[in-house]
A and B are shown apart, each in its own frame.
Chain A
Amino acid sequence: NAGVTQTPKFQVLKTGQSMTLQCAQDMNHNSMYWYRQDPGMGLRLIYYSASEGTTDKGEVPNGYNVSRLNKREFSLRLESAAPSQTSVYFCASMGRDRYTDTQYFGPGTRLTVL
């Protein structure tokens, strides 16, 4: 039981390049999330997926797209990377834990855009 896994752990891109961040969970959770965290700041929600086949925008969706490939996997795509997207990206899934919902986070992807 690995929980929430993310790949890659680190990535350096040039401005304008594209890439996809991968996230998978093995806890059979319905809801999954993508957050970003800038240095010294809290987490901000980019997109979330309440269930397989649905996605919704969060607080900072511009410049990103997502795909909920199946119940396990939720990917985040940067079509044309910009320096402002330099950040640490965290994926999370949410499931029932002792009568209420609890989010569990992956280890993060550290992205630098030059």
Chain B
Amino acid sequence: DAKTTQPPSMDCAEGRAANLPCNHSTISGNEYVYWYRQIHSQGPQYIIHGLKNNETNEMASLIITEDRKSSTLILPHATLRDTAVYYCIVNRAGSARQLTFGSGTQLTVLP
């Protein structure tokens, strides 16, 4: 699976959009980009995933560059409860694929 690179930490003001970048320059054509977050030692929470098109759900938007070498997770209106470690993971579709969690980005939403 392709390796990902994320900044170790970011701050965001409450109510503003949080834009979390991720580089995955060695991504293969059949690999998806997944985003999870972990709030203070709770179980990781799935946020969103995509292959090449931009995606949006009730939690966030995922913007993937045309060459698929990087992506950005957007939380449109960050709240204090969005403070968490955010993980960008690249994974091939298919059954029983282990997720490899790197060190992620610690997002702190400031009041």
Contacts and interface: CB of A to CB of B under 8 A. Distances in A.
B25 interface: no
Interface residues on A, range: 20 to 34
Contacts of B41: 37, 88, 108, 110
A97 B55 CA distance: 14
Interface residues of B, number: 23
Main secondary structure of the interface of A (DSSP, over half): strand
B102 A42 contact: yes
A111 interface: no
Contacts of A4: 43
A48 interface: yes
B99 A43 contact: yes
| A-B pairs with lowest CB-CB distance, top 3 | A105-B43, A50-B96, A42-B101
